[in-house]
Amino acid sequence: MAGRAAVPEVIWARPERTGRGPKPAYSRRDIVDAAVRIADADGIDALSMRRVAAELGCGTMSLYNYVPRKEDLYELMVDAVSGEYELPEEPSGDWRADMTGIAYQTRAIMYRHPWLARVMTTAYGYSPNALRFLEWCLGCLVPLDAPPGLKMQLIAMVNGTVMATVANEQAMAERARGLPWSEEEEQAVRGAYLMGQVASGRYPHLAGLLAEAPAAPADPEEIFALIIARLLDSFDPGAKGQPLSGEPFTEA
């Protein structure tokens, strides 16, 4: 009659254990760590319940004592890496500096865990570490005189922008193997398509752009810094009108 719960609950509300029965051989954290390890090493597509069980040396179905569904595992993974933020005791008082730091930390985390972008779009909820993160951001934004809704929007935009930027970088890197300015010419087949299209004359502006800047794009580091700065500017009442210098993009 007891049976397994029909899992209408949020994973965070489900207690890890209840005290009766044999001692669990693992903890929820063990499973999640193993999953993160696998996803880091071999990509998110290589992550399966069987693989996690193998990594831990237990039967596949044992995992379901700790994690009700694979989807919940994703959520736990996102929460786990969200715990990697190093948040000082107190905000610095300079909300721009604090949020910039957050953006850089987010980017670092996404570099460490390239699967995050893919997973976060589906599995980002009010996990404990997400609440911790949100709380800290709101603390940083106390000096900013703005209504709460706007602050939430700012936080979401910083997160989303970092995610979009990194996802774009990663997609670029993935695609770079087919670009004509790639390392080797061996699979010029892929690049040939693009160049053929551009050479067709149907895309004059794009052709001009490629002619002007045929090399790889500028230092992503500078681009990232500029983007975040611009974003924060747009929320900053005291931001000075930037002169819009595009130099960093071409000279580097």
Which residues are near DNA by CB under 7 A? 1-2, 4, 17-26, 47-51, 58-62, 64-66, 69-71
> In angstroms, what is the minimal distance from the CB of 51 to DNA?
5
Which one of a second copy, DNA, none interacts with residue 227, CB within 5 to 8 A by kind?
a second copy
Choose the one of a second copy, DNA, none that binds residue 51, judging by a C-beta under 5 to 8 angstroms depending on kind: DNA
Rank residues 21 and 201 by Cβ distance to DNA and give the closer one: 21
DSSP string, 34-99: HHHHHHHHH-GGG--HHHHHHHHTS-GGGGGGT-SSHHHHHHHHHHHHHTT----SS--S-HHHHH
Nearer to a second copy, 12 or 26 (CB): 12
Cα(27)–Cα(48) distance, integer angstroms: 18
Question: What residue type is 217 in one-letter code?
Answer: P
C-beta of 66 vs 235, nearer to DNA? 66
Judged by beta carbon distances under 5 to 8 A according to partner kind, the member of a second copy, DNA, none in contact with residue 243 is a second copy
Beta carbon of residue 74, minimum distance to DNA (angstroms, whole number): 10
Query: Which among 157, 197, 205 is positioned nearest to 178, based on CA atoms?
Result: 197
- Which DSSP state fits 182? S
Minimum CB separation of residue 238 from DNA in Å reads 50
Closest Cα to residue 128, out of 86, 89, 80? 80
